[in-house]
Structure 1
Amino acid sequence: MALWVDKYRPAQLNDLSYHSDLTDRFREIVSTDDFPHLLVYGPNGAGKSTRVRCILKELYGAGAGRLRLETRGFTTASGKKLEIQTISSNYHIELTPGDVGVHDRIIVQEVIKQMAQTHQLNEKAQKGFKVVVLREVDSLTRDAQHALRRTMEAYSGNCRLILVCESLSRVLDPLRSRCMMLRVPAPTDAEVFCDAR
């Protein structure tokens, strides 16, 4: 049984009812042939994750909505075993690398490398890249953020990143400069009231 918030969560960009200018901007980005790395930021509860899922559905169709919850295992150079929960489809993967603490660099590098090395096109063969969604990038260690920058450059041909965070100030400048930054403001009380009716 699905939670109420998940059951009524907008699934497509057309379903989003507030910040229409931002929705139009997302629609423009999805329709371009050169989809950029994105950095989506804003306060908790503003709808960042919902908008990211809508973008994925717009990019890949219904297949992006068939989600799997998985636990992935990784091993550090010292032999320590790490596990992280991921949500994925055939076209993308979502995770919070900060969940493994100071070993977040390993997770960032390995997940992006794995996604980039498995070439999977959507049913319509329109997009030749997969998407890695990294949540809470503002809580990544500096080491992980530097590794993320290098990994982004190495695999940008067949892997795009959507970085999600609350505080833009805790994301390193070299990382920000490689992404299109999009601010998702919190909805106003009036927008929430209208949407609830």
Structure 2
Amino acid sequence: MSDVDEMELDEEHAAAKDVAFSSEQKGKKLSKANLPVSAGDTLPWVEKYRPDTLSDVSGHEDILTTINKFVQTNRLPHLLFYGPPGTGKTSTILALARHIYGAHNIRQQVLELNASDDRGIEVVREQIKTFASTKQIFGASTKTDGQLGSFKLIILDEADAMTSTAQNALRRIMEKYTANTRFCIIANYTHKLNAALLSRCTRFRFSPLPIDALRKRVDHVIDTEKVKITPSAVDALLQLSRGDMRRSLNVLQACYASSTPLDDEGRPDPAVEREDITETHIYDCIAAPHPEDVQIILKTLLSSDITTSLRTIIDIKTKKGLALADLLSSLSDELERLEVPKQTRILWMEGLAEVEWRVGSGGSEGIQTGALAGAVRKGVAVMKNGRLDINPFEHLIH
């Protein structure tokens, strides 16, 4: 079949191809910056309430002030955002892109790649180099103040997953096309990035969000979605999120969905009023130990013998389906609040850290549960004796 025949065939069936499936759109990825408006009602709250402007970003006011200075003076450098997940790295750069280019031009001016998938040398040589080496002629920016927005922006999310070869190729592209393109590299761990790549970027560390910043955004979502939740549940949600905005919104949406009343056929029943989300719902959703259970375990460890303490921990773990890693985290927070001698605190910190490392390395839950009880009881024994514990195997050494 000739090229002309193929062209006529495409025109003839153009009306039948109004609906395009993902398999038919090869190479055309739908990034977070290009989500359709019609998907707003079905999106997870993490994406639905992603900040649109820099003023909507919660926390990190010092970073936002510095970035605004760069934009105002038209001196935006290559950027490196790093820090724990859910602290606003991707949201900040997407809000910055909308501020520079406007919502209409962001697709032409911004290339967003997730390096967890696009991590090889081929992506750097083909997609990134092609995008960086071409210049946009029409509609470069909605701004009217000179050169602002005349450059393109390439966002590399999860860049610490890129191969070493790809990182070496990327640093040369960053140098060669600086006049036309700016790069924003987003990573969780900087030690996995090439040192030469780090030296070409201005670094900003996104620390875990403070509770006040979390509360500001969570309260906005609660008011908008009309979520019925108790104040104690909100406090528990913010505390358990540990500075992760993504986690707090995901847990809130999960609890909201579980509180939806259903009819006999399993469909949402709008006639029945939703029940309030309580502190218990939050702890059950996260599968974190309840404060009452932690207090029972702590009281037993401090006042009972090792056998009773171990039985209590195993019993609560079995009935509530708790993991030792979660129990370690909650128990360490309670032990830190106690006023004890320095020697006891050192033994507790050292013992719990050792148990956590063993659990993370694949150690047996049962054995490490006994090690946890032994570490706490050892600190209690030292506190009662008023001296450092003696090595029980010292007589065997001599």
Provide the TM-score with structure 2 as the length reference: 0.41
SS in 2 for 1:90: helix
Give the alignment partner of residue 158 of structure 1, picking from 163, 166, 180: 180
The equivalent residue for 1:72 is none
Identify, as 1 or 2, the structure richer in helix.
2
2:92 pairs with 1:51: yes
Task: Select the residue among 109, 112, 133 that pairs with 1:117.
Answer: 133
- What letter is aligned with 1:28? K
Greater CA drift, 49-58 or 3-12? 3-12
Cα distance in structure 1, aligned partners of 2:151 and 2:178: 9
- Corresponding residue for residue 96 of structure 1: 114
Query: 1:10-48, CA deviations, whole angstroms, 9 ceiling, x for partnerless residues?
Result: 111111232212221221122222221101111111111
Cα distance in 2, alignment partners of residues 152 and 113 from structure 1: 9
Q: How far is the alpha carbon of 1:137 from its aligned partner?
A: 1.1
1:98 and 1:191 mapped to 2: Cα distance?
Answer: 28
**SS in structure 1 of the partner of residue 183 of structure 2:** strand
Q: In the alignment, which residue of structure 1 is the partner of 2:122? A: 106
Q: Distance in 2 between matches of 1:176 and 1:122?
A: 28
Do residues 34 (structure 1) and 52 (structure 2) align?
Answer: no
Q: Secondary structure at the match of 1:46?
A: coil
In 1: Cα distance, 2:71 partner to 2:59 partner: 19
Query: Using the alignment, how far apart are the partners of 1:135 and 1:192 within structure 2?
Result: 23
User: Is 2:160 the counterpart of 1:141?
Assistant: no
Gaps of 5+ in 1: 66-88
Equivalent position amino acid for 2:135 in 1: H
Counterpart Cα distance in 1 of 2:51 and 2:214:
14
Q: Which segments of 5 or more consecutive residues in structure 2 lack a partner in the other structure?
A: 1-38, 220-398
Question: CA separation in 1, counterparts of 2:209 and 2:191?
Answer: 22
State the shift of 1:173 in Å: 0.9
2:126 partner amino acid: E
TM-score scaled by length of structure 1: 0.80
1:178 paired with 2:200, answer yes
- Give the alignment partner of residue 18 of structure 1, picking from 26, 36, 59: 59
The answer to whether the 8 Å contact 1:130/1:158 transfers is yes
Q: Which residue is equivalent to 1:189? A: 211
Q: Which runs of 4+ in 1 moved over 4 A?
A: none
SS at match of 1:44: coil
CA 1:183–1:107 in 2, change beyond 3 Å: closer, same or farther? same
Which structure is higher in RCO with an 8 Å CA cutoff and minimum separation 6?
A: 1
Cα-Cα RMSD: 1.8
Determine if contact 2:151/2:180 at 8 Å carries over to the other structure.
yes
For 1:26 and 1:96, locate their aligned partners in 2 and report how far apart those are by CA, in whole Å. Answer: 22
Contact 2:110 2:155 (8 Å CA) reproduced: yes
SS at structure 2 position matched to 1:39: strand
Separation in 2 of the partners of 1:10 and 1:98? 23
Q: How many pairs align?
A: 172
Q: Aligned residues: percent identity?
A: 35
| Aligned residue identity for 2:128 | I
The answer to whether the 8 Å contact 1:98/1:136 transfers is yes
Residue 141 of structure 2 aligns to which amino acid in structure 1? N
Matched with 1:76 is none
Q: Separation in 2 of the partners of 1:172 and 1:43?
A: 19
Aligned partners of 1:97 and 1:108 also within 8 Å = no
